[in-house]
Chain A
Amino acid sequence: MPANPNTLEHPIIDVDVHQRWRSPEEVVDHLPEKWRSYATGRTGGKTTALMPAGLTYPFHRGVNKRLEAVPEDGKGTSFPLMKEQYLDRYPSVEVVNLTFDIGQEVAQRNPEFSAALTTAMNDWVARTWLTYDPRMRTAIVVPTELPERAAAEIHRMAPNPKVTGVLIAWNPFGKPLGHPVYEPIWRAAEEEGLPIIIHGAAGETEGGLAQTTAGGLPGSRLEWHTLLQQPTLAHLASFVVHGTFEKFPGLKVLVLETGLAWIPNFFWRLDAHHQEMRAESDWVRRLPSEYLRDHVKFSTQPFELTPRKEQLIEFFEAFGGMDQLLCFSSDYPHWDADDPFYVASRLPKEWLPNLFAENARSMLRLLPVDSEQEVHA
């Protein structure tokens, strides 16, 4: 005790004093073996974030990366590793379209902070990764909760020729994206010739601030990852029914990381139901699937694993035109990334030129860039 402790006449019962472990190991080491090994990362640490439920789902082996793609210090991602493990291994890669680590940081409670953060993130990628290799291009993030600010950010970044599109990393209002509140963003993107890029269902993936799935929040990453297409369906139907593609005929939408086999089901149902319920919307003047085929393309990852590859091909051929809708994506260095040769081995050869390059060329803004000149926004 100190020499002259401060004393009160009455005893004190302090009902709120906090403590925290110095490192996650102190807690993780008390878990059963199954969960301990689940949380142990490649660099030896127990790296699974011990965060409140709703912010994220823990990753198997503690990270959302391929284990060999985690730098030795466990921090972030590394261009030298990307070069060794991806660019050098697949020398025909012409463009790498960066999409942050899905951009979920944009999901903030404070919209002003979200706006400042998006600007900082875009300046960061322009100063760093875009200068590392002439093949680097990037999507930009925008503060979707402040649509006019988002439009201004698009116009601020658009002069950078290495900007390919606008990553919608968060759906702050919990409304499908055809809602008119978002139109300033679509207008700015159309004016600048930039596609909208919806990754992992427009940011309802992490952050816990909007609906991840219909029917309630799932209790595991297995459920969430399998159901990731659900919000994307809501957004695409909303774009069609609420006239987004009629209002912005030059707007293009690239859907990333939601799988593929649901596309025929969704297009067929939307067309069939439109025949029955067309009185609901004057905006839909053509078959819904025609709008989607004109304006939307889909990335290949995660590529569905069917027992026989012919099953998926037969299904897609029955649907028709799938070779015009797909853009290859690896998702490197994420844990569920697809190998380009694997994807090529699962589809007809004649689809591959469109799938690996031409469809993306018609979707992303790919401007000529002087590879010797570093570009800063």
Chain B
Amino acid sequence: MKNGIDIGAWEDFPDKEIVRVEVGGTVLGVCRWGELIYAFRNACPHQGAPLCSGFMQQNVSAEMVAGDVSMLTREEVPVVLCPWHRWEFNLEDGSAAWPGFKMRTYRATRESGRVLLHFGRK
């Protein structure tokens, strides 16, 4: 897919770090998680916090195993942790645990060693 906006080389985005990128007056967080790359609006849908000051981390939940709870970490499900109320947002679709609040996400792709941003519908 061409016609994305070139926002830098792949190497400009260190693994598991949020990089603040300004595109046409809009501030975005762009972050790599291994070979995947994500982009989101730098505003928490809850109270507008600057999400770029938060953290990327793997999803942590728990499951019942043989009648006891067992911690479940899912490396394949990265989330952004909000710097204010510590809400977590799924980087794939922006969803949060609390209904009605969704982080705005954008599609980012890797093309020939460059990172492209796509503002259209995901």
Contacts and interface: CB of A to CB of B under 8 A. Distances in A.
Interface of A: 32-34, 37, 40, 42, 60-61, 66-68, 305, 307, 335-339, 341-342
A138 B50 CA distance: 28
Interface stretch (B22-30, B54-62, B103-111): B54-62
Given A67-B54, A68-B53, A61 B86 contact: yes
A67 B86 CA distance: 9
B99 A307 contact: yes
B85 interface: yes
B116 interface: no
Contact of B71 (A32, A40, A67): A32
A213 B54 CA distance: 31
Given A33-B73, A66-B84, A335-B86, 18 more contacts: A34-B60, A34-B71, A34-B73, A37-B57, A60-B86, A61-B81, A61-B86, A68-B50, A68-B53, A307-B99, A307-B100, A335-B84, A335-B85, A336-B84, A339-B47, A339-B49, A341-B48, A342-B46
B73 A61 contact: no
B83 interface: yes
A111 B54 CA distance: 40
Nearest to B62: A34
Contacts of A305: 98
**Interface range on chain B (Cβ under 8 Å from partner):** 20 to 34
A18 to B, nearest CB: 32
A338 B57 CA distance: 24
A337 B83 CA distance: 11
Interface in B32-75: 46-50, 53-55, 57-58, 60, 71, 73
Nearest to B49: A66
B100 A67 contact: no
Contacts of A307: 99-100
A61 B71 contact: no
B47 A42 contact: no
Contacts of B49: 66, 339
Nearest to B83: A67
Given A307-B100, A342-B47, A42 B86 contact: no
B105 to A, nearest CB: 21
A323 B117 CA distance: 46
A342 B83 contact: no
A67 B53 contact: yes
Interface in B82-96: 83-86
A273 to B, nearest CB: 35
Contacts of A339: 47-49
Contacts of A336: 84-85
A226 B97 CA distance: 18
A38 to B, nearest CB: 9
For the complex of A and B, the 10 pairs showing the least CB-CB separation, nearest first, are A67-B83, A68-B53, A339-B47, A342-B47, A60-B86, A34-B60, A66-B84, A37-B57, A67-B53, A68-B83
